[in-house]
Structure 1
Amino acid sequence: MKFFTATLLLSGVLAYYVYLPLPNTICEPWKLMILDAVFRSFMHVGNLAHDLGLGHPIRIINYMMLKVEVIGPQSSQTVQVTDTFFAGVPVRVFEPATPVEQQHHLRRAVVYFHGGGWALLSGRMRSYDLLCRNMVEEMDAVIVSVDYSLAPDAHFPQQYFDALNASTFFLSPEVLAQYSVDPERVAISGDSAGGNLAAAVVQQMVSENKTSTKFKLQALIYPVLQALDFNTPSYQQNGDTPILYRPMMARFWLEYLNASPSLVPLLLANNHTALDLARLPQAVRARVDWTRLVSPDFQKEYRRVSPARGSAGVLEELPALLDARAAPLLAEEEVLRAAPPTYIMTCEHDVLRDDGLMYARRLEDAGVAVTRDHYEDGFHACMVFSFWPAKFSVGTRSMWNYIRWLNKHL
């Protein structure tokens, strides 16, 4: 009887911890609840370890995740995998195992940046490793997965410079020739924070015009592109939807910019962009004006949050909030005009949905060809959850649609 009672109580506690009220349109909600419970457990352990003086919580969380998920450079009959360095930045290179001389043509290539809020994960994780292998096999392409520096050991602009330096190194004629890559058929891509880095690298390269080889395409997967408005419709709608919660995204931004987590409430209230702050010009505000840049279908009943009075000190302490290298959505139109054809994936149940939608609109207004790929049942990071055991149907669909787009246009 005692065992039965204990089991019942434990089951109740576990169910309470796992259960979350989710929209009925989200893909496989119970599976997502379990996945989110695992992530929250990592977060709780990291915070507890920090409270015990064992280290920074994000460093501890990342250690646990990478311990479980990172795999070595395992080649197969179809894919050759090598870990190396580009301009001092660790990368994992995936190549078709068949020698290029047997095919009598140069190959295509994609430079890829993983997600994780500039603080977590790795391109050597099982999910990214399998994604890159699928890209190689489907496209007969060379895939470069970049392991840029992470917070809290590195902060902006280090991650950005890692991404830029690794990309510039790969685009050099000597390195492209080494990997038998066609310089006219190279794309740049990334998901979440990796999408941020990909967009920022493209903008810098078209602005500086220092490399003879240019990216033919950019493909951005639910990218994070701005930190001026944490009350877009998607932030309001999905603030409590796994796996990326609204306060968590604000915390990632502060970690990236090397600022105190105590600023999270100010960011969430949009106090850093209040109407009385003269440092924020109207031209910059217009670049994140979702009432103009996002379709009414996504705006729904949500209202803009614009406090009359705010905290000027936030922008003074964090000038990078207005730096397009950190927030590519803020780029000048002339920079956007030079961007290559772009693919942008967004998910309905994602706080970052409107970042992608606003960027797509700004690129289109600048005359750039944009392919929008939106998933009504999608959630943040779903594309990398297309492999067992965390396999979601929307993850599989979105991954193959993404690869097919690259295959067709690259």
Structure 2
Amino acid sequence: MCVDDTAASGCLCKVTLDKISARPLKKLQIFRRERAALTQGKTIEKLGVWSEDGLIGLLAKLNPIKSVDDPELFTKNLKFEGVPVRVYQPRESSAGGRKGVMFFHGGGFKCSDLLVPYNAQISWFLAVLRSDGPPQCSDLLVPDNAQISCFLAVLRSDGPPQCSDLLVPYNAQISWFLAVLRYRLAPEHLYPAAFEDCLNATIYFLKTAQDYGVNPSSVVICGDSAGGNLTAGVAQALVTRKDIPKPLAQVLIYPVVQMIDFNLPSYQQNSGVPLLLIDKALFYMLNYLGEGVQTTLHKKVQNGSHVPPDLRKKFSKWLSADNIPDEFKVTGYKPHTMSAFDKNVYEKVKQLFEPPCSPLVAEDSVFRLLPKAYILTCEFDVLRDEGILYKKRLEDNGVSVTWHHIKDGFHGIISFCDQWDCESGKRAVDSFVSFIRDA
């Protein structure tokens, strides 16, 4: 049996009752709250009152994270090759052995504060650099983005990282350096602007890491959602560079790694599940190319009309649902045949096939040279299967992969780990924090 939540915008979410009953009450409240926000946003957007993203952004700002001065933490706004970055590091000097983390935020290449203000989303990493007190972000941060809100709290030197310790004072002796990029956003800055910003800033940091007390061979690149796409793209672009150290690892948190097939099992099963509905995913990806407002084009891309016959044949070995474990195809999935090729559609969106947009379809010669990876996927997320497919491509090419799947998670789950009783968000953060700590 299915529950259909219907509003002026149509059916927003279909989730089986048995799956709903298995979720904690608090998680259901999160789903309902976000579904309501999406519904209201779509309604006022159709009425021409305001944009959906504008409403959700406002709701986020109405629930800000408290800030606190941190005498142990040095923060500063800098520029890496002209790209604005916010850096965080302990005030204590380092002889050059620090680990460095480059973080690329999510938000559909368009948003930086869609769900949670910048202050909240950086708090995962910041807590790792604190010496005492509850892990709360500096009020020097400007509202901008991110999904870092628990990371800082759990990157600690003593004992296993537990996000549940968020409000427990502790002593830390971590010597990490964190750089959070504010890359250019669409539609004002179209592809490949965001990718180029992340690539250029990362190259700069790898070249100058020692100036910041960081070991240049201990730099991890990390991102969530669209930021995961940028992370994968940057990692691939660096494989042939001989003049800079190779990144130590890449961390992909429910990443976008392909913009080709929108009928994978997870897209069909979770098309109406917040926080990333399929129509929103299509909008963000096409908006990145400057085609965000053409809903007719969206439908054609969703049906596969943009994929030429030769590329369908080439990509089938990497995008086939046969590569996805059967456990993810038990219900809610029917094999899909792409619609007839439309050259006009292809010409408008052909950049989707380039590796920085769809790193999943890069050549094997690139994959073989990639650094070890961590991939986080969530069961109730349209992007679930592409994370699984990316894992397979890495493993098929001999790259070490740590995969963590949140069976009761949904897209954006890590943003809620310190705001509600969201155990799956805490587990997700604990997992990738541990990976970075041990990398």
Q: Same fold (TM over 0.5)?
A: yes
Aligned match for 2:263, one of 219, 227, 231: 231
Residue in 2 aligned with 1:313?
A: 344
Aligned match for 1:369, one of 390, 397, 400: 400
1:142-181 matches, within 5 Å, as: 142-172=177-207, 175-181=208-214
Q: Is the 8 A contact 2:305 2:346 kept in 1?
A: no
Distance between the aligned counterparts of 1:233 and 1:400, measured in 2? 27
Residue in 1 aligned with 2:438?
A: 408
Q: Is the 8 A contact 1:73 1:82 kept in 2?
A: no
Q: How far 1:242 moved relative to its partner?
A: 0.9
Q: Cα distance 1:200–1:401, how it changes in 2: closer, same or farther (>3 A)?
A: same
1:26-105 matches, within 5 Å, as: 26=23, 28-37=26-35, 39-40=37-38, 43-44=41-42, 47=45, 51=48, 57=51, 60=54, 64=58, 67-68=61-62, 76-100=70-94
Q: Percent identity?
A: 29
Residues 10-61 of structure 1: per-residue CA shift (max 9 Å, x gap): xxx9xxx999756324454322224314641673477268x25x7xx47745
Q: Cα distance 1:267–1:26, how it changes in 2: closer, same or farther (>3 A)?
A: farther
Distance between the aligned counterparts of 2:430 and 2:88, measured in 1? 18
Q: How far 1:79 moved relative to its partner?
A: 2.4
RMSD between superposed Cα atoms in Å: 2.8
Residue in 1 aligned with 2:426?
A: 396
Q: Which moved more, 1:257-266 or 1:34-43?
A: 34-43
Distance between the aligned counterparts of 2:38 and 2:341, measured in 1? 32
Q: Is the 8 A contact 2:225 2:254 kept in 1?
A: yes
Q: Is the 8 A contact 2:101 2:220 kept in 1?
A: yes
- SS of alignment partner, residue 226 of structure 1: coil
Q: Which runs of 5+ in 1 are unaligned?
A: 1-12
Q: Within the alignment, does 1:117 sit opposite 2:111 as a pair?
A: no
Distance between the aligned counterparts of 1:179 and 1:163, measured in 2? 18
Aligned match for 1:334, one of 331, 352, 365: 365
Q: Which amino acid aligns with 1:132?
A: F
4+ residue runs over 6 A deviation: 17-20, 69-74
Q: How far 1:257 moved relative to its partner?
A: 1.2
Q: How far 1:280 moved relative to its partner?
A: 2.1
- SS of alignment partner, residue 401 of structure 1: helix
Q: Which moved more, 1:257-266 or 1:113-122?
A: 257-266
Q: Is the 8 A contact 2:105 2:112 kept in 1?
A: yes
Q: Cα distance 1:313–1:279, how it changes in 2: closer, same or farther (>3 A)?
A: farther
Residue in 2 aligned with 1:196?
A: 229
Q: Which amino acid aligns with 1:106?
A: G
Q: Is the 8 A contact 1:26 1:376 kept in 2?
A: no
Distance between the aligned counterparts of 2:195 and 2:63, measured in 1? 24
Distance between the aligned counterparts of 2:202 and 2:68, measured in 1? 23
What is the number of equivalent residue pairs in this alignment?
Answer: 379
Residue in 2 aligned with 1:386?
A: 417
Q: Cα distance 1:343–1:203, how it changes in 2: closer, same or farther (>3 A)?
A: same
Residue in 2 aligned with 1:5?
A: none
Q: Cα distance 1:69–1:86, how it changes in 2: closer, same or farther (>3 A)?
A: farther
Residue in 2 aligned with 1:133?
A: 126
Q: Which runs of 5+ in 2 are unaligned?
A: 1-6, 131-155, 157-173
Q: Which amino acid aligns with 2:271?
A: G
Q: Is the 8 A contact 2:65 2:120 kept in 1?
A: no
